[in-house]
Amino acid sequence: MSIKVGEVLDKIVGKYPQFEINNTKIDRECIILLNEYQIQAITNVIMEFISNGNMNIAKEVFNDIFKQPNSSNGKVYEALVYSWLIEEKIKFEPQPEIKKENCLKKNDYHADGKIDRAIFDVKSFGIGTIHIDTLRSKLEKKLPDKIISIGGSQNASQKDLSKYCLRKIDEIVDELKKKSICAIDEINLVIEATPKEEGVATSISEFDAYEWAKNNKFYFMKHASQFCINSPYIIFCPFDDREGNMFANLDSNIIYQCLRALCRRIFIELKRMNDIKLSDFDPKAKSEATIAIASKKISAIVFLDVTNKLSYEDNKVWVYVNPNADNKLYNHEIAKWFRYNGAFIDDFINDNY
């Protein structure tokens, strides 16, 4: 069922007449390209903010999401994390100001939220296959009479996919026009273009969780200037069957192992990198900050599947606690916020070497 932006706005205004949106970029007739659960969850978040007296934040969330109501908008996933917190009755303060003295950033900034003493930010799960899907989409637009299949390794980092593929679309198209096949040797990717009249193309892809983790260990460092110095800091990393679709049909235990491999790299390998400047990845970082320092400022990383409403029995939430964090979460905080809600939890307590 297609739902338009105007329908959501009318629903909110019906309950809260004081909610007014005067943004010319908002198209009431625009179809929202999210599933029904996600649309309802975002609507509930906006109404929750209004009911709690956060009218300005409610308007900001509405404008940020509904000017581009689809899965490529990172603000969608921020709101879906807020929704999960509300559903689980975890009280939080939205958008607290973080002074530069309490973060690795050169200037003050507003974090996405605060739970008791812990600051959190939301980083959408743009690792890997979402960029392969983007590559396929761009190629299909250039070659509308072809079926594009992409095989080979699925372990490349976001940086390498951008460098060797997304920035070289025209070169790849030229190669496909000549040979119908293009090998990207640097990242072991093979792209094929099959005429549509010949039927459905197939490809064989390989995914190695440990190679993928190795290649993406710096993923969160591009925003690491936001990491807090004197407060526990949590990264929420939401995904759904579009963003992070590499996990769409996998068993929860397999997803757990994949994400564990990534977090182990971040918590244990990166803490040794004292000679690499954080500013090499995040230009907003203070000059004295290093990758090692940033790694130890992460208290936990929380991955959650926001495709559908979660239940205790099918709670697709994976929490990885940093054993080397400078500002550790207390056990009762981990239990109250995550364990009692059915999340998978790993603290690397016997695997920190």
Q: What percent of the chain has pLDDT over 90?
A: 75
Give tens-digit pLDDT for 261-272.
Answer: 999 999 999 999
Q: Which residues of 110-128 are buried (b: 16+ CB within 10 A; e: fewer)?
A: ebbbbbeebbbbbbbbbbb
Please work out, in degrees rounded to the nearest 5, the angle formed at the alpha carbon of residue 221 by the alpha carbons of 215 and 225: 175
Cα 18 to the center of its chain, rounded Å? 33
Angle between helices 5-15 and 36-51 (to 10 degrees): 30
| Residue 110, amino acid | H
pLDDT of residue 277: 97
For range 79-107, the mean pLDDT: 98
Q: Which residue did the predictor score with more confidence, 135 or 346?
A: 346
Give tens-digit pLDDT for 14-62.
Answer: 999 999 998 888 999 999 999 999 999 999 999 999 999 999 999 999 9
Q: Are 216 and 276 in contact (CB under 8 A)?
A: no
Per-residue pLDDT at 155 exceeds 60? yes
pLDDT of residue 212: 84
Give tens-digit pLDDT for 173-229.
Answer: 999 999 999 999 999 888 999 888 765 555 556 678 888 888 889 999 999 999 999
Largest pairwise CA distance in the chain: 62
Sequence-separated (6 or more) residues with CB below 8 Å from residue 332: none
Mean model confidence pLDDT for the chain: 92
Domain boundaries, the chain: 5-70, 93-127+216-346, 129-206
Q: What percent of the chain has pLDDT over 70?
A: 95
Sequence-separated (6 or more) residues with CB below 8 Å from residue 177: 143, 193
β-bridge partners, 205 = 152
CA distances from 19 to 46, 64, 162 (A): 10, 15, 41
| Residue 271, amino acid | K
Lowest mean pLDDT segment, chosen from 63-72, 155-164, 289-298: 155-164
Give tens-digit pLDDT for 101-147.
Answer: 999 999 999 999 999 999 999 998 766 555 777 888 899 999 999 98
CA distances from 247 to 27, 139, 241, 254, 302 (A): 33, 24, 8, 9, 15
Residue 344: name the closest of 298, 295, 305, 296 by CA.
305
Integer Cα distance of 154 and 278 in angstroms = 27
pLDDT of residue 156: 81
CA distances from 301 to 239, 259, 322, 345 (A): 13, 10, 8, 10
pLDDT of residue 258: 92
Q: Could you give the residue ranges of the DSSP H alpha helices within 88-199? A: 129-142, 158-164, 169-179
For range 277-295, the mean pLDDT: 97
Integer Cα distance of 332 and 326 in angstroms = 18
For range 329-346, the mean pLDDT: 97
3-state secondary structure of 222: helix
Per-residue pLDDT at 293 exceeds 90? yes
pTM passes above 0.75: yes
